[in-house]
Amino acid sequence: MSALDIFFKLGEKATGGDICKKAKFDYILYWVVFLTFISLAVNYFYTYFFKNGSISMLMWGIIISIFCWFNYWALATFRGVYQNMKQATESLKKIPNPKDSKEADEMIKEFENGKPTNKV
């Protein structure tokens, strides 16, 4: 197994293969990214306006603010994905298991016998 395979197996260990947990993990991780960019932009603006920083500080603050704008919409998308996954898994839990019904047992017996009955 290569190092790259091991690296990608770490994600499966963290989420247990559950898509809802992965969506939540991605959402929380993107919050960290978003807040990091916000803090960088605030730091550059603070340095420019209050610490007599150079014009490059102002330009970096503007550039990182643009990244913050795009990260905000990406964060909203990650939130939507997480909410949709959560809603989908909750609705899947409400669907009864067909293996527990009598009709499913009868159908399985018919296929095992190889002679379907035509009950209408």
- 83-99 per-position pLDDT tens digit: 998 888 888 777 766 65
Domains in the chain, number? 1
The rounded mean pLDDT for the chain is: 84
For residue 120, is pLDDT > 60?
Answer: no
End-to-end CA distance of the chain: 56
Range of the domain at 74: 3-113
Model pLDDT, residue 115: 62
Residue 16, both tokens: 């247990």
Element (H, E) at 93: helix 55-94
pLDDT tens column, 8-55: 787 777 777 788 888 888 899 999 999 999 999 999 999 999 998 899
Specify if 74 maps to a domain: yes
With beta carbons less than 8 A apart as the criterion, state whether 25 and 15 touch.
Answer: yes
Residue 17, both tokens: 């293969």
Query: DSSP 3-state assignment of 101?
Result: coil
Specify if 119 maps to a domain: no
Specify if 34 maps to a domain: yes
Residue 95 DSSP label: S
For residue 101, is pLDDT > 70?
Answer: no
Phi and psi dihedrals of 115, rounded to 5?
-125, 90
